């Protein structure tokens, strides 16, 4: 992926590798993919970080000497381009001499890291006297120093107040561990032993890669191995370009927001405009907010991580993940945005703040492109798990040891609905292929926690014909200790990040609360003083008489909720996914004593549709009976009559003629506050506009936008292009 | 006459292995029937006929009857198990739904992980509407924080009874430390729902971690009524026919157990097939004096590998099944989608083989059942490894022209190769993926594969083994006499076995020794586990001698990955702790390299385990065999696709001891072809096992 802020063209395919037997290539390719997985097993076996061993916040990969990623494990896809940036930094730094047996350590977001907690190591792999590859490994470390525990410092005004920055330092010199350097690094951490154990795990992981590559090299030789690596990337690139050619050319926009920078509850925007022409993509983030004074920023490395992870997860689901896929895309973003923050901006919580939201906005735009494609519409997906709410806890644990924990449970938020099926309840993000959380018992065994519940939260899935997945929610107090220091922060408490598509609603916003003195004799009681937090209450003392309770974001919905099969809604009620009240208010479904009332439901739904738009349009000039030949979503169609091409609703009502900006013909209604049934709280600068078909009241889109503004048209395509693809399909 | 019998019910065939004490060994195969029992009885009829005996007369002379079945597995996979409810702690009823987020990706292979659209293939084992939260809570120390609300539990149980629930799984938090609420809930359930089958999590899966414990308990409860009925019917049918010995069921951990022990714990037998295969190989290894074994099985869709190191199978504590994590102590058999039915395809000028499989229907192109995609079996036919007229002992004719056409059009022409080159390419890609799995199972565990003997089982195993052996740097491989029915052989040869564990948490600072009171707690847990093992093995009266292995699970403080290390004595005192810690560090460094151990981290001791083995009298050893018969020759490809080699063909059912055949040769058994490459030599031992040495007579 091109990194140029000015948007220079992508370099294109690497120099063609000489012809290589297809059988030998496939044998080596399988090995190189397997090695990234073997690195994962080594890391997970030796690491001491629960984020690595019980959750999945880490990365393993193999790289070419120029920093391009050849193969990677199935973990955080945001990390795909990161180590490559460090390799390029080494290549460009004459003082960093690369010798056999060396390993480098680094975590500087201004060189190549998503944020300082993501400590990474890379090591060259030599063969025949030259470097033929690099192995890279990274894992989130709970604490790397800084003014506050866990190195996420809400009050930080610059990066110097955050965790230690290790630019790129040789930790193993020709196989010899530099204990003095290691000591300097671990000394900066509040949890030096945990960091020390993980660095040993990194060394073991890189050694595994070296041994496996050496085996391959002794068998096939360095030349063949290098050829195979180049061909793997070319192969993924060819497959990705073929896929892009199948998708409609056009401009696709996605906008998402995050609130509160640690200092004030300011609203920040991430806006991406994706232009797809032929077999390449340009992602332009120029419309995003300027950088913030607090720790939510991302550097350009973070932006690239978010953009790459989104492309891999959304468009390359069946292509081996490597640099070849990323070569098809160019990222444009001027310096100084919230996603290209300039030194010395604080960036400590970049991964869960700006990078996460970059990925939400990018995936939203990419899925709008899939939705407009006849071939791939069925697998267009709304947004999953729009935030990673933080609950960190530190102090002295029940065993009398200093401890720090980073609760990974928030991964259990809802996944977005697809165009053809509901989102997964507690499915989590899709940018991590294999997300996991730890058992409640495991957490209670090793950490001073006592859970009151961990369960699914009803009504949190974004409403739609296909429902967003429900989020999980937890409530907990301290177990075995009296007090600890907690860090509570998130975005998405006042921003619905899990955007729906095709008329589907976003899922719930985050609700985080503290029940002060809500525990008596180890049990919750009705008294207690409940405080509802804003997005970033920050650091606080918590005692074993307090309850921390949090509900995360449900997944986005797909399509008009009034189109959801009433029997399925009745089943949702039986399973406790939707309450009876919400079923009637949002879905227009009446269930009495567990029995679906079919006639009443039909009448209620008709009344709700009419209520949305007042009187239905009957002007014959606005109707078109021709059969649709293409579609923007499964509720917006393209059809032709003697006047030309139009965007029409399912009812045949013409919304736009000659162009795709269909909102001009729809009925809009703007909400500054939503009824409680939606479980969505809006920031004071945000509003939601719902768009309806004037002839039927069908819900066509739900836009989240800044107050006093209109959401930008999100799909700009030539209708004739869609017509051509529709005819071909 | 006395008969030793092992049976294994697979998806397609029910295998039966018999050894008689007059020195004959035979294998019989009968189609598996819908009720499972019928296929077993049919196979026994075949055996009785072969010995010229009436069914009842044959049954009366059975000395031992081992049995393995996938009946439970299939019931869970097809949702035909009993209607089951789950009782959980208030606030934690969604444990199966949330499934640690792992449920949604379970069952995905390495080419599918990146596709979120394929997630959530499996629903939770029990529907959310049948999960009931009970007011109660016990904490990590076993203290009752909230007393059990019996009135609420009773009213919920009555409601479940009204819904027709047949089985109840009880899994409350920290029941492994204090089981009082689970025990009480069992009584309440039995009182409120007549005839209900109840499983308690602290008994079925006594381990910390509520998701796997609840899944295992739910699976166990769902199978209980079904498995109980099936086993009772099998036992009574055979008893009525005159059999005097009990049916011994193969369990996941490789020991057999009488049905009365398994009636309460059907989950212990969920994965009996793979366990039987490894135990069969282990039994052969013991007879011929080998202690390090790699057991491989190549079937139509998968390649399975088990490892036996120093006479003990490598175990695992968890297996994913129907999307759920099932925690039962099991023989570790890993598997990839690579087999005779693996489909070869070319896209973007690249060759891929598997993991998609043509299965048995439509099957490979050469089956002529409508399959048009080229598979590994088609490649073997084209390469001359398989004989079109003599497949599965001639019971099925293969269409060589169809195989050639599929390979030519879909692989050879797109890649610009000859059909032979393409066929060999398919084999090479597939064999290298298999070799990868073998390396993963050995090298990643700190073993050198060259210290192991490779055993080739399954229909296609003996024809691929020479390549796998060479890939791993081995000189030889072994084809057991019962290679096509090795699981059945295992059920007839395994000893009694029962394993149980118990959580016992200790956190030890660097350099410290745990306080005496804590060590007493661990010792007591260990003794209780041993007593549980003895009690269950005592139910099988045939056990002549019982051996018990004790072990503890240890890890460095802060890690998740633990190792099991043996405990020599009966009590776990300070000396035993130090010894266990030292043993742990030794094993750890063997796994992760010298210097990897980080004793500055301190230790966590997690649980104790007792594994009991009750020795059974060994089956008779067969001694009779027949010399293989020559059956002409054909051209076969060995590596060089452009120059097939004239290869002698031999046929046998049971090679006589001392048989020697030099390569290039193919020895055809009913159901398998042993490929002996050029320069190699196959020799039959006194048990009918073929030893193929790739270096010839050396």
| Cβ–Cβ gap A48/B101 under 8 Å | no
B414 belongs to a structural domain: yes
Q: Is the pLDDT of residue B50 over 80?
A: yes
**Rounded to 5 degrees, what angle do the CA atoms A19, A23, A24 make?**
70
Q: Answer yes or no: are the C-beta atoms of B93 and A539 closer than 8 Å.
A: no
Considering the domain architecture, whether residues B94 and B196 belong to the same structural domain is answered as yes
Q: What is the mean pLDDT of residues A672-688?
A: 98
Please confirm whether the linkage preceding B105 is cis (ω < 30° from 0): no
User: What is the reported pLDDT for A10?
Assistant: 35
**Weakest-pLDDT range from A232-241, B111-120, B390-399:** B390-399
Contacts of B511 in chain A (CB under 8 A): none
User: What is the reported pLDDT for A609?
Assistant: 97
Q: What is the mean pLDDT of residues B565-573?
A: 91
Angstrom distance (rounded) from CA A105 to CA B75: 51
User: What is the reported pLDDT for B581?
Assistant: 93
Angstrom distance (rounded) from CA A699 to CA A106: 50
Picking from A495, A528, A508, the residue whose alpha carbon sits closest to that of residue A423 is A508
Angstrom distance (rounded) from CA B73 to CA B76: 5
Angstrom distance (rounded) from CA A368 to CA A380: 7
- Whether residue B109 lies within 8 A of chain A, CB to CB, comes out as no
- Distance, CA of A606 to chain centre: 37
The pairing of beta strand A636-641 with beta strand B545-556? unpaired
Give, in order, the Cα–Cα distances in Å from A552 to each of A296, A384, A466, B391.
19, 11, 20, 59
Q: What is the dihedral of CA A588, A591, A595, A598, to 10 degrees?
A: -30
Neighbours of A128 (CB within 10 A): 11
The pairing of beta strand A686-692 with beta strand A699-706? antiparallel
Token pair of A433 as six digits: 């292929």
Neighbours of A466 (CB within 10 A): 31
pLDDT band at A6 (very low <50, low <70, confident <90, very high): very low
Considering the domain architecture, whether residues B398 and B512 belong to the same structural domain is answered as no
**Rounded to 5 degrees, what angle do the CA atoms A686, A692, A698 make?**
130
pLDDT band at A14 (very low <50, low <70, confident <90, very high): very low
Angstrom distance (rounded) from CA A508 to CA A613: 25
For A620, residues 6+ apart whose C-beta sits below 8 A from its C-beta are none
Q: Is the pLDDT of residue B542 over 70?
A: no
- Whether residue B163 lies within 8 A of chain A, CB to CB, comes out as no
Please confirm whether the linkage preceding B311 is cis (ω < 30° from 0): no
Find tokens 């899939």 and name the residue: A370
Considering the domain architecture, whether residues B524 and B418 belong to the same structural domain is answered as no
Which has more pLDDT, B688 or A99? A99
> How many domains, chain B?
3
Token pair of B76 as six digits: 């869970």
**Weakest-pLDDT range from A339-348, B58-67, B535-544:** B535-544
Find tokens 């990706």 and name the residue: B105
- Whether residue A204 lies within 8 A of chain B, CB to CB, comes out as yes
User: What is the reported pLDDT for B510?
Assistant: 85
- Residue ranges per domain, chain A? 22-237, 381-559, 614-728
* B104, B129, B559 member nearest A427 (Cβ): B104
Token pair of A6 as six digits: 């000015």
| Cβ–Cβ gap A522/B139 under 8 Å | yes
- In tens, the pLDDT along B619-631 reads 766 667 788 999 9
Considering the domain architecture, whether residues B386 and B510 belong to the same structural domain is answered as no
Find tokens 């009480």 and name the residue: B184
Q: Which residue of A has its CA nearest to B142?
A: A445
Angstrom distance (rounded) from CA A273 to CA A361: 9
Q: What is the dihedral of CA A682, A685, A686, A687, to 10 degrees?
A: 100
B201 belongs to a structural domain: yes
- In tens, the pLDDT along A395-422 reads 999 999 999 899 999 999 999 999 999 9
Q: What is the mean pLDDT of residues B428-442?
A: 92
| Cβ–Cβ gap A439/B353 under 8 Å | no
B632 belongs to a structural domain: no
List of long-range contacts for A263-266, beta carbons under 8 Å, 24+ apart: A263/A154, A263/A155, A263/A293, A263/A294, A265/A494, A265/A534, A265/A535, A265/A536, A265/A683, A266/A292
Q: Is the pLDDT of residue B34 over 90?
A: no
Neighbours of A27 (CB within 10 A): 24
3-class secondary structure, B341: coil
The CA radius of gyration of chain B, in Å to the nearest whole number, is 26
User: What is the reported pLDDT for B507?
Assistant: 92
Angstrom distance (rounded) from CA B176 to CA B206: 6
Would you tell me which residues 241-260 of chain A have a C-beta closer than 8 angstroms to some C-beta of chain B? 242
- Whether residue B162 lies within 8 A of chain A, CB to CB, comes out as no
- Whether residue A430 lies within 8 A of chain B, CB to CB, comes out as yes
The CA radius of gyration of chain A, in Å to the nearest whole number, is 26
Q: Which residue of A has its CA nearest to B505?
A: A445
DSSP conformational letter for B627: P
Tell me which of A35, A46, A594 to substitute to probe the interface with B (most B C-beta atoms closer than 10 Å). A46
Angstrom distance (rounded) from CA B696 to CA B698: 5
- Whether residue B445 lies within 8 A of chain A, CB to CB, comes out as no
Terminal CA-CA length for chain A: 31
User: What is the reported pLDDT for A546?
Assistant: 98
- In tens, the pLDDT along A375-387 reads 999 999 999 999 9
- Distance, CA of A191 to chain centre: 28
Q: Which residue of B has its CA nearest to A399?
A: B507
Token pair of B395 as six digits: 């019971």
Q: Answer yes or no: are the C-beta atoms of B537 and B612 closer than 8 Å.
A: yes
Q: Is the pLDDT of residue A206 over 60?
A: yes
- In tens, the pLDDT along A41-91 reads 888 888 877 777 777 788 999 999 999 999 998 888 888 899 999 999 999
- In tens, the pLDDT along B96-147 reads 999 999 999 988 888 899 999 999 999 999 999 999 999 999 999 999 999 9
B60 belongs to a structural domain: no
List of long-range contacts for A55-59, beta carbons under 8 Å, 24+ apart: A55/A408, A55/A411, A55/A435, A55/A436, A55/A437, A55/A438, A56/A432, A56/A434, A56/A435, A56/A436, A57/A139, A57/A140, A57/A408, A58/A137, A58/A138, A58/A139, A58/A140, A59/A83, A59/A120, A59/A136, A59/A137, A59/A138, A59/A139
Considering the domain architecture, whether residues B206 and B85 belong to the same structural domain is answered as yes
Contacts of B349 in chain A (CB under 8 A): 22
Angstrom distance (rounded) from CA B111 to CA A227: 22
Q: How far is A633 from chain B (nearest CA, A)?
A: 18
User: What is the reported pLDDT for A141?
Assistant: 92
Angstrom distance (rounded) from CA A548 to CA A474: 8
Considering the domain architecture, whether residues B536 and B424 belong to the same structural domain is answered as no
* B415, B432, B591 member nearest A27 (Cβ): B432
Considering the domain architecture, whether residues B500 and B610 belong to the same structural domain is answered as yes
Q: Is A588 left (phi over 0), alpha (psi -120 to 50) or beta?
A: left
Q: Is the pLDDT of residue A13 over 70?
A: no
Examine the fold and report which residue of B208, B224, B240 is the final residue of a domain before the chain moves on: B224
Contacts of B417 in chain A (CB under 8 A): 22
Domain that holds residue B382: 342-430
Angstrom distance (rounded) from CA B335 to CA B87: 34
- In tens, the pLDDT along A84-133 reads 999 999 999 999 999 999 999 999 999 999 999 999 999 999 998 899 99
In this prediction the ipTM stands at 0.94
Backbone angles phi, psi at B630, to 5 degrees: -70, 140
* A318, A399, A401 member nearest B115 (Cβ): A318
Angstrom distance (rounded) from CA A643 to CA A621: 11
Which has more pLDDT, A201 or B72? A201
Contacts of A313 in chain B (CB under 8 A): 114, 116
User: What is the reported pLDDT for A12?
Assistant: 36
Angstrom distance (rounded) from CA A91 to CA A89: 5
Angstrom distance (rounded) from CA B601 to CA B555: 10
B571 belongs to a structural domain: yes
For A342, residues 6+ apart whose C-beta sits below 8 A from its C-beta are A291, A335, A336
For A153, residues 6+ apart whose C-beta sits below 8 A from its C-beta are A146, A147, A161, A162, A262, A295, A346, A348
Token pair of B482 as six digits: 């019962």
- Whether residue A358 lies within 8 A of chain B, CB to CB, comes out as no
- Whether residue B111 lies within 8 A of chain A, CB to CB, comes out as yes
* A46, A48, A522 member nearest B596 (Cβ): A46
Give, in order, the Cα–Cα distances in Å from B216 to each of B170, B221, B266, B324.
11, 9, 10, 8
3-class secondary structure, B466: helix
User: What is the reported pLDDT for B55?
Assistant: 96
Q: What is the dihedral of CA B7, B9, B10, B12, to 10 degrees?
A: 110
Q: Is the pLDDT of residue A9 over 50?
A: no
User: What is the reported pLDDT for B698?
Assistant: 58
Considering the domain architecture, whether residues B372 and B508 belong to the same structural domain is answered as no
Angstrom distance (rounded) from CA B618 to CA B624: 18
| Cβ–Cβ gap A439/B429 under 8 Å | no
Terminal CA-CA length for chain B: 41
Examine the fold and report which residue of B615, B645, B677 is the final residue of a domain before the chain moves on: B615
| Cβ–Cβ gap A441/B425 under 8 Å | no
Q: Answer yes or no: are the C-beta atoms of A49 and A142 closer than 8 Å.
A: yes
Considering the domain architecture, whether residues B368 and B503 belong to the same structural domain is answered as no
Considering the domain architecture, whether residues B219 and B124 belong to the same structural domain is answered as yes
Picking from A366, A395, A393, the residue whose alpha carbon sits closest to that of residue A381 is A366
For A614, residues 6+ apart whose C-beta sits below 8 A from its C-beta are none
B358 belongs to a structural domain: yes
Q: Which residue of A has its CA nearest to B115?
A: A317
B217 belongs to a structural domain: yes
Backbone angles phi, psi at B111, to 5 degrees: -90, -5
Angstrom distance (rounded) from CA B340 to CA B401: 18
């Amino acid at each position: 992926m091109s990194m140029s802020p000015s948007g220079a063209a992508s370099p294109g395919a690497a120099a063609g590798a000489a012809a290589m037997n297809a059988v030998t290539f496939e044998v080596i390719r399988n090995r190189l993919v397997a090695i990234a997985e073997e690195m994962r097993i080594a890391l997970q076996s030796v690491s001491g970080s629960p984020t690595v061993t019980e959750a999945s916040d880490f990365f393993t990969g193999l790289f070419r000497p120029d920093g391009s990623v050849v193969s990677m494990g199935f973990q955080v896809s945001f990390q795909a381009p990161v180590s490559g940036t460090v390799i390029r930094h080494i290549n460009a730094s004459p003082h960093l001499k690369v010798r056999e047996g060396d390993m480098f350590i680094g975590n500087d977001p201004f060189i190549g890291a998503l944020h300082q907690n993501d400590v990474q190591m890379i090591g060259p792999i030599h063969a025949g006297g030259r470097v033929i590859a690099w192995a890279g490994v990274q894992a989130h470390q709970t604490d790397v120093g800084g003014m506050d525990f866990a190195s996420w410092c809400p009050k930080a005004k610059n990066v110097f107040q955050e965790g230690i920055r290790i630019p790129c330092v040789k930790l193993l010199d020709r196989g010899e561990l530099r204990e003095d350097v290691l000591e300097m690094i671990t000394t900066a951490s509040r949890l030096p032993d945990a960091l020390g154990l993980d660095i040993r795990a990194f060394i073991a992981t890189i050694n595994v890669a070296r041994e496996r590559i050496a085996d391959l090299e002794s068998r096939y030789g360095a030349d063949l191995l290098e050829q195979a690596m180049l061909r793997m990337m070319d192969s993924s690139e060819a497959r990705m370009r073929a896929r892009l050619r199948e998708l409609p050319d056009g401009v696709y926009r996605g906008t998402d927001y995050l609130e509160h920078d640690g200092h004030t509850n300011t609203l920040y925007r991430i806006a991406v405009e994706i232009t797809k022409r032929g077999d390449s993509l340009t992602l332009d983030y120029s419309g995003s907010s300027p950088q913030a004074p607090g720790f939510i920023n991302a550097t350009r490395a973070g932006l690239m991580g978010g953009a790459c992870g989104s492309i891999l997860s959304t468009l390359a689901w069946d292509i081996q993940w490597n640099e070849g896929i990323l070569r098809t895309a160019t990222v444009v973003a001027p310096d100084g945005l919230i996603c290209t923050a300039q030194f010395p901006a604080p960036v400590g919580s970049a991964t869960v703040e700006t990078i996460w939201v970059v990925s939400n906005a990018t995936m939203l735009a990419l899925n709008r492109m899939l939705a407009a494609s006849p071939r791939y519409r069925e697998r267009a997906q709304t947004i999953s798990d729009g935030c990673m709410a933080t609950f960190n806890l530190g102090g002295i644990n029940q065993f009398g040891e200093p401890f720090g924990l980073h609760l990974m449970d928030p991964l259990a938020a809802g996944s977005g609905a697809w165009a053809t099926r509901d989102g997964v309840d507690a499915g989590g993000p899709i940018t991590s292929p294999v997300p996991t959380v730890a058992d409640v018992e495991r957490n209670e065994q090793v950490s001073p926690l006592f859970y009151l519940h961990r369960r699914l939260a009803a009504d949190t899935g974004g409403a739609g014909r296909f429902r967003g997945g429900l989020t999980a929610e937890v409530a907990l107090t301290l177990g075995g200790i009296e007090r600890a220091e907690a860090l509570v922060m998130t975005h998405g408490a006042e921003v619905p990040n899990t955007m729906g598509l095709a008329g589907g609603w976003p899922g719930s916003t985050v609700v985080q609360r503290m029940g002060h003195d809500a525990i008596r004799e180890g049990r919750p009681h009705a008294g207690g003083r409940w405080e509802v937090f804003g997005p970033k209450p920050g650091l606080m003392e918590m005692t074993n008489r307090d309850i921390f309770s949090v509900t995360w974001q449900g997944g986005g919905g797909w399509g008009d909720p009034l189109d959801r099969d009433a029997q399925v809604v009745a089943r949702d009620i039986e399973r406790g996914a939707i309450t009876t009240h919400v079923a009637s208010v949002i879905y227009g479904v009446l269930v009495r004593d567990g029995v679906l009332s079919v006639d009443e439901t039909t009448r209620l739904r008709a009344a709700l549709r009419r209520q949305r738009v007042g009187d239905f349009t009957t002007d014959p000039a606005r109707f078109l009976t021709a059969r649709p030949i293409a579609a923007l979503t499964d509720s917006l169609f393209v059809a032709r009559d003697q006047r030309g091409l139009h965007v029409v609703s399912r009812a045949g009502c013409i919304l736009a003629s000659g162009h795709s900006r269909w909102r001009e013909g729809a009925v809009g209604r703007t909400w500054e506050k939503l009824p409680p049934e939606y479980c969505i709280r809006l920031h004071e600068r945000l509003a939601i506009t719902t768009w309806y078909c004037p002839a039927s009241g069908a819900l066509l889109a739900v836009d989240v936008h800044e107050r006093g503004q209109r959401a930008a048209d999100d799909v700009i395509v030539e209708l004739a292009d869609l017509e051509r693809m529709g005819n071909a399909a | 006459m006395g008969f030793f019998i092992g049976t294994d019910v697979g998806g397609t065939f029910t295998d039966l292995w018999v050894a008689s004490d007059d020195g004959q060994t035979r294998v019989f195969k009968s189609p598996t029937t819908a009720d499972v029992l019928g296929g077993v009885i049919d196979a026994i009829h075949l055996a009785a006929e072969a010995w010229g005996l009436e069914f009842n007369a044959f049954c009366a002379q059975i000395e031992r009857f081992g049995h393995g079945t996938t009946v439970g597995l299939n019931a869970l996979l097809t949702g035909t198990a009993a209607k089951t409810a789950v009782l959980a702690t208030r606030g934690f009823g969604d444990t199966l739904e949330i499934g640690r987020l792992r449920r949604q990706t379970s069952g995905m292979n390495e080419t599918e992980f990146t596709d979120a659209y394929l997630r959530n293939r499996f629903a939770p084992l029990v529907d959310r509407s049948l999960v009931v939260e009970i007011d109660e809570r016990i904490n990590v120390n076993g203290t009752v924080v909230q007393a059990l609300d019996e009135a609420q539990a009773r009213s919920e149980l009555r409601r479940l009874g009204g819904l027709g629930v047949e089985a109840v799984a009880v899994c409350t938090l920290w029941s492994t430390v204090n089981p009082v609420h689970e025990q009480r809930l069992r009584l309440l359930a039995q009182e409120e729902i007549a005839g209900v089958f109840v499983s308690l999590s602290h008994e079925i899966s006594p381990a910390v971690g509520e998701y796997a414990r609840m899944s295992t308990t739910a699976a166990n409860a769902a199978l209980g009524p079904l498995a109980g009925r099936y086993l009772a019917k099998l036992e009574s049918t055979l008893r009525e026919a005159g059999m005097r010995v009990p049916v011994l069921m193969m369990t996941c951990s490789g020991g057999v157990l009488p049905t009365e022990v398994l009636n309460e714990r059907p989950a212990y037998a969920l994965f009996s097939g793979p366990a039987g295969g490894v135990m069969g190989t282990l039994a052969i290894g013991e007879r011929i004096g080998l202690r390090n074994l790699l057991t491989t099985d190549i079937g139509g869709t998968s390649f399975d590998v088990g490892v036996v190191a120093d006479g003990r199978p490598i175990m695992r504590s968890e297996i994913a099944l129907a999307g759920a994590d099932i925690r039962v102590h099991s023989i570790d058999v890993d598997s990839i989608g690579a087999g005779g039915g693996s489909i070869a395809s070319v896209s973007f000028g690249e060759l891929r083989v598997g993991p998609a499989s043509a299965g048995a229907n439509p099957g490979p192109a050469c089956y002529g059942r409508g399959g048009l995609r080229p598979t590994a079996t088609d490649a073997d036919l084209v390469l001359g490894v398989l004989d079109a007229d003599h497949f599965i002992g001639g019971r099925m004719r293969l269409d060589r022209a169809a195989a050639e056409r599929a390979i030519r059009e879909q692989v050879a022409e797109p890649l610009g190769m000859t059909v032979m080159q393409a066929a060999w390419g398919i084999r090479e890609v597939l064999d290298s993926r298999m070799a990868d799995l073998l390396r993963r199972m050995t090298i990643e565990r700190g073993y050198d594969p060259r210290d192991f003997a490779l055993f080739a089982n399954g229909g296609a195993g003996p024809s691929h083994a020479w390549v796998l052996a060479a890939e791993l740097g081995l000189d030889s491989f072994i084809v057991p006499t019962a290679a096509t029915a090795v699981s059945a052989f295992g059920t007839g040869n395994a000893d009694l076995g029962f394993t149980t564990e118990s959580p016992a948490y200790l956190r030890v600072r660097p350099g410290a020794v745990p306080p005496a009171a804590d060590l007493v707690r661990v010792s007591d847990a260990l003794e209780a586990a041993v007593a549980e093992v003895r009690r269950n093995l005592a139910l099988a009266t045939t056990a002549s001698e019982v051996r018990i292995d004790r072990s503890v699970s240890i890890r460095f403080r802060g890690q998740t990955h633990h190792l099991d290390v043996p405990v020599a004595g009966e009590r776990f005192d300070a000396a035993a702790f130090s010894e266990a810690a030292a043993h742990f560090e030794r094993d750890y460094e063997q796994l992760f390299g010298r210097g990897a151990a980080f004793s500055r981290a301190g230790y966590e001791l997690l649980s104790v385990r007792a594994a009991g083995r009750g020795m059974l009298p060994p089956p008779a050893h067969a001694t009779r065999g027949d010399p293989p018969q020559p059956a002409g020759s054909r051209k076969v490809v060995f590596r060089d696709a452009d120059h097939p080699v004239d290869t002698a063909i031999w046929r046998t059912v049971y090679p006589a001891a001392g048989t020697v055949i030099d390569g290039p040769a193919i020895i055809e058994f009913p159901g398998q072809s042993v490929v002996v490459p050029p320069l190699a030599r196959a020799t039959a031992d006194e048990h009918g096992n073929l030893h193929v040495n790739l270096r010839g007579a050396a």
